[in-house]
Amino acid sequence: MNKRTKLVLVLSTLAVSTSAYLARERGKARDRSSFDANLREARIAFEDFTATRYNAGAVTGVIRAKSGYLLEPNMLELFGDVSIRTLKGEGGKKYWDQLYCETATAYFRATNLIQLLTSSSMDHVDLRGFVKLETRHMTLETDSAVYNSEAGILQSTTKVQLSGPGHYVKGEGGFLFDLRKEHLNMLGPIRGGGSFEMP
């Protein structure tokens, strides 16, 4: 085989390999353009996540976690020492409600991340792992809970422990707590006792 034949053979092999590579890359590009919006793919990741809410220049809410992930199309997942603080009350009677857990997943009424970041309202939040709510008058502890932001209700179907000045109660069937009205309904059987009044 002479040098000219070898050169033609090498160039032909190179051309075929390049064509195959370009065809494969075009196929990948087509697959990316037809992205399925129902897939929960992480798009943005945060370390030492902090989100702050303001009203008239004053801080009214702070959310913190060790890490956070925005997922397509409508989820925010928080991991590690999640804390949610919300300012309540008016005038000189303001106080902070504090909610802690290991992980939280917030679901928004959005069809994509742009809508989620710009104009979407929250639907609900799943809270998991050592969930603890501290208010002015009591502390609630459970393994998991769901917060419905539209109704302002935190609820759980797992065992709950309620404690505060002069009382300690356990509920086996969970609870339903209206955070706006500060109305608590514990599900039995219930054990414990003490004097307890909510405003």
For position 80, which CATH number holds? 2.60.450.10
Domain identity same for 132 and 58: yes
User: Which residues span the domain enclosing 2?
Assistant: 1-34
What's the pLDDT band for 35 if we cut at 50, 70, 90? very low
* Mean of the per-residue pLDDT values of the chain: 80
Q: Which of the residue ranges 7-21, 28-42, 131-145 would you say has the lowest mean pLDDT?
A: 28-42
Q: Tell me: the pLDDT tens digits for 53-77? A: 888 888 989 999 999 998 878 889 9
Domain identity same for 138 and 164: yes
Domain identity same for 107 and 170: yes
Q: Is residue 182's pLDDT more than 70?
A: yes
Domain identity same for 94 and 9: no
Of 151, 146, 148, residue with least CA distance to 127 = 146
Domain identity same for 189 and 162: yes
What's the pLDDT band for 38 if we cut at 50, 70, 90? very low
pLDDT of 32: 44
pTM above 0.85, yes or no: no
Distances in Å between the alpha carbon of 81 and those of 49, 63, 99, 146? 11, 10, 10, 17
CA 32, distance to chain mean position in Å, is 26
Domain identity same for 82 and 156: yes
Domain identity same for 15 and 46: no
Domain identity same for 26 and 67: no
